[in-house]
Amino acid sequence: MYVYDGDSIYAPLIGVFSGLVVPEAKEKESVPEVVTTSGYALLHFFSDAAYNLTGFNIAYSVNSCPNNCSGHGRCSAGNSEAGRVYCECDEYWKGEACAVPYCRDDCGSPDHGYCDLTGEKLWSNLWQVVSVGGAVVQGGYGHSSVYDQAGGCVYIHGGYTALSNNKYGLVDHMYRYVVSTRTWLILRESRLPRYLHSAVLLSGTMLVFGGNTHNDTSLSNGAKCFSTDFLAYDIACDKWTVLPRPGLHRDVNRFGHSAVVSNGWVPLPLFASCEALCLEAPLYGDTVPSSQFFYRNSGFGWF
């Protein structure tokens, strides 16, 4: 049996069936299903005298959900275009026909893992590609990111990514990823492109330091590879602020370094608490591998 998505044999061939076609072992699984999108379906059956079986039974429906959502969801029209229906999957199931489990074999629960859709528990020790929604974001590398535990969001800034016309360069993009809803949101740009910079989250503010601001193109406008830029992004206000650069006795321009918040977490406004931002030994830009620099909130002080 040949199935074409169209009204002739020159249309796309979307299914070929021969021999015994029976349901799989699981109760809710069914015989193979094919879907046409052209508005037509051509079935071409061919048999010979050498081998004969008992025949077959074919059923079809118009504007229905794939495989009836595999028994793991419900068929809904929602707000889809042209009145087409789609599957609204039950918890722990995904895919066009709700046939793909988020966690295979329930992660071997209870002895070997636990299926957690919030992303807060990593007990399964497995990687998976997450299906996301919201804004369309650009992929890249060399960006910085922080996690806001209070809001359950990841904030991502800058990086090196693909531009238009097959060009590549630095960006000042700012994204927010909401873990619970798996959605992206584009935030206010910093207007200071860079990559390989550091970032930490302190009292609701993302602090960004250093990075490489030169991309070997006319877009660099004389920007240096090793930067001492110090930026602050207020999560609540979606606002960027340029902070004073380090006024130290030695050059602290750098990229490829790391940064951490030390001395615990005190939920006070920025520049009013005692936490310190520690710029650890850099990968590039410093001839003394063991050097460290600290920024203390009170008094805008570097030391």
Whole-Å CA distances, 210 to 194, 253, 257, 288, 291: 8, 7, 8, 17, 15
Q: Which domains does the chain have, with CATH numbers?
A: 133-302 (2.120.10.80)
Q: What is the pLDDT of residue 71?
A: 86
Q: CA 275, CA 173: separation in Å to the nearest integer?
A: 27
How far is it, in rounded angstroms, from Cα 237 to Cα 142? 25
Residue 215 is predicted with a pLDDT of 63
Give me the residue label for tokens 């999957």: 89
Show Cβ contacts of residue 273 under 8 Å, excluding neighbours closer than 6 positions. 203, 266, 297, 298
The more confident residue out of 266 and 278 is: 278
Report pLDDT digits (tens) over 111-136.
Answer: 777 676 655 444 455 677 788 889 98
Is residue 45 a contact partner of residue 16, using CB atoms and an 8 Å limit?
no
pLDDT of residue 172: 93
- Residue 227 has which token pair? 């930067």
Q: Where are the alpha helices (DSSP H) in the chain?
A: none
- Candidates 67, 10, 68, 8; CA nearest to 41 is 8
Question: What integer pLDDT is reported at residue 47 of this predicted model?
Answer: 78
Predicted confidence (pLDDT) at residue 82 exceeds the cutoff of 50:
yes
Rounded-to-integer distance, Cα 168 and Cα 138, Å: 12
CA angle 239, 242, 248 (to 5 degrees): 150
Dihedral sign from CA coordinates of 137, 143, 147, 148: negative
Please report the pLDDT score of residue 258 as a whole number. Answer: 86
How large is the average pLDDT for residues 76-84? 61
**Mean per-residue pLDDT over the chain, rounded:** 76
Whether 56 shows a pLDDT value over 50: the answer reads yes
End-to-end CA distance of the chain: 77
| Nearest-angstrom CA–CA distance, 74 and 65 | 9
pLDDT at 31 over 70: no
What is the 8-class DSSP label of residue 49?
S
Structure tokens at 285: 């830009």
Does this model's pTM top 0.85? no
Residue type, 37: T
Percent of the chain at pLDDT exceeding 90: 25
